[in-house]
Structure 1
Amino acid sequence: MSELWLIRHGQSISNAGLPTGHPSRSALTDLGHQQAVYVAKALKAAPDRLIVSPYFRAMDTAKPLRDRFPDMPVTVAAVQEFTYLDLESYQGATREMRRPQIQDYWARCDPLHRQGEGAETFAELVLRVEDFFCRYVEGPDVPPGLTVVCTHGQFIRAAYLRFFGGIGGEFAADPRAMARFRGFREAFAVPNGAIARLSVGPQPRLGAFDVSHLPPRMVTY
C-alpha cells in the first residue's frame, strides 16, 4: 500500500509574530530549525521520494531529512503556501499588521479575486491541490511506497478538505467552496512540524495526524 506524509514546515519568523519580507523567503526561527531535526528523526527509513515546496521555510524544514537520506529522490513542486495578499502587504509587516487585509480578503468570498501583484486566487489554489491529488493521492498512477511532502498549513488544510469533497477542480470558482475552506481553516489548526498521514491509491484513507515526534515544549502554530 502506498502512503503519503504531509509535513508542515517548522516555525517561521511570520509564525513567531516577526516582520516579514517576500512570503516565499520567510525563514525558519531557531526553534523551527530544531523542529525540522525532529521531523527527520520521525522517519525510520528513507522515503521513496520527497516533494518540497519552493518556499524557503519548507526547503529548510526538508534539509535535515535530505542530510539524513542523501540518496532519496527530491522534487520541488507546487505545494507552496496559499499566498493571497499582494507582495507589498508583506514588506516589513507582521501577521497582526496584515489582519485587516486578511479579513477583507476572506469577507469578499470571491474565488477569482486577485488582491494584487504576486497574489494567488483561491481558484488557483484549488486547481493546484487537485493536480496534487491526481498525482499523489487517488489518481491511476499514484507512485508506490512512501511519499513525504514538506509543505504548508493552508495547503494541508486544502488537501484535507479535498479529501472530504469540500473543494475540487470542478467547482474551483464556486464561492460556496471558498466559504467552506474559510470555515475549515479557522477551525482546524496545523502545528509546525506536524505530520498528516494518508494511505493513498484507489481507496485513500486518512491516518494519524500528530506531533508525537516533537517535545511538548516545541509544539507551535
Structure 2
Amino acid sequence: MISIWLIRHGESEANAGLPTSDVTLINLTQKGQQQANKAASAFTQAPSLIVTSPYIRTKQTAQPTVERFTSTPQTEWLVHEFTYLSLDRRHNTAAKERLPMSKAYWERCDPNYVDGVGAESFADMIQRVQDFRQKIYRLEEEFTAVFTYEIFIRAFLWLMLSNTVEINSQAMEEFQAFIKSLKIPNCGIVKLECRNSDIWLNGVSTSHLS
C-alpha cells in the first residue's frame, strides 16, 4: 500500500488579494509561511519522497518539511496551477480585477481554447492531471508528499470520482459544478492510498491548521 498526501500550498500573495504578474514567482504571505510550518508538523513519519511544482509557492510551502526531513529526496513534477488567462492580460492584476475575465473564460466552456502566451487549455491541464495519476501508479516510494494547488487537487479528485474519459464542453461544465462543492484550505491535506490501479481517498485533513 502506497500513501500519497496532496498538500495545497500556503496562502500566497494572490490568495491575499495582492496584484501579481508572473505566476511562477508568486510568494507566500507571512500567514502562508505559518501554514507551511503547520503542514510540516502534520507528519508523524518521514515521507519517502517530496514533490513540488516548478512554481515558487509550492517550494516555499515544502521548505519546512524539507528542513524537518533532510534525508528525504525531492523532485519536481508538473503539478502546477491551472493558468487559463494569458500573461499579458493578468499582468499586475489582483484576483478581483481578473474576475470578469475568469467568468468569461469559464462561460466560454471550450476545453481546447488557449487564451494566449503563458496560458494553457483546460484539456492541457487535465492531461497533466492524468499524467500525474500515471506517476502515482508507478511510484515505488511508500509515502509521497506532493505540494500542489487547489484546482489541481480538485481536478484529480474529479477524474478519480467521475471516471471522465472524454474532455468536452459537457465535461468542463461538470468540472465547474464539482469544484464549487469542494473547497480545500491553504495547506489542507488530501490523503490517498494506492494499491495497483486502485486509489482510495483517505480523507481531507485540516486539524493541523487550528
TM-score range, shorter chain: over 0.9
Q: TM-score, normalised by structure 1?
A: 0.91
Q: Does 1:200 align with 2:197?
A: no
Partner of 2:25: 25
Native 8 Å contact 2:4 2:143 kept in 1: yes
User: What's the secondary structure of 1:75's corresponding residue?
Assistant: strand
SS at match of 2:207: coil
Rounded Cα–Cα distance in structure 2 between residues aligned with 1:98 and 1:155 = 20
Question: What SS is found at the alignment partner of 2:12?
Answer: coil
Residue 49 of structure 1 aligns with an amino acid whose one-letter code is: L
Report the Cα distance in structure 1 between the residues aligned to 2:99 and 2:114, rounded to whole angstroms. Answer: 17
Q: Cα RMSD between the aligned structures?
A: 1.1
1:132-158 CA-to-partner distances (Å, cap 9, x unmatched) read 11110xx3x332411110000100000
Gapped runs of 5+ residues in structure 1? Answer: 216-221
Residue 58 (structure 2) pairs with residue 64 (structure 1): no
Task: Report the equivalent of 1:48.
Answer: 48
The 5 Å alignment of 1:53-132 reads 53-132=53-132
Q: Is the 8 A contact 2:86 2:119 kept in 1?
A: yes
Contact 2:49 2:141 (C-alpha < 8 Å) held by counterparts:
no
- Answer yes or no: is the 8 Å Cα contact 1:36–1:64 preserved in 2: yes
TM-score by length of 2: 0.96
Which stretches of structure 1, 4 residues or more, deviate above 6 A after TM superposition?
none
Count of aligned positions: 209
Structure 2: distance between partners of 1:104 and 1:201: 40
Does residue 188 of the first structure (1) align with residue 185 of the second (2)?
Answer: no
User: How far is 1:166 from its partner?
Assistant: 4.8
Structure 2: tracts of 5 or more residues without a match: none
The amino acid across from 2:44 in the alignment is: K
CA contact (8 A) 1:142 1:200 kept: no
C-alpha contact (below 8 Å) 1:9/1:57 kept by paired residues: yes
- Aligned counterpart for 2:173 among listed residues 179, 182, 186: 179
Matched, 1:163 2:160: yes
Q: Which moved more, 1:185-194 or 1:148-157?
A: 185-194
d(CA) in 1 for partners of 2:181, 2:113: 23
1: distance between equivalents of 2:40 and 2:180? 28
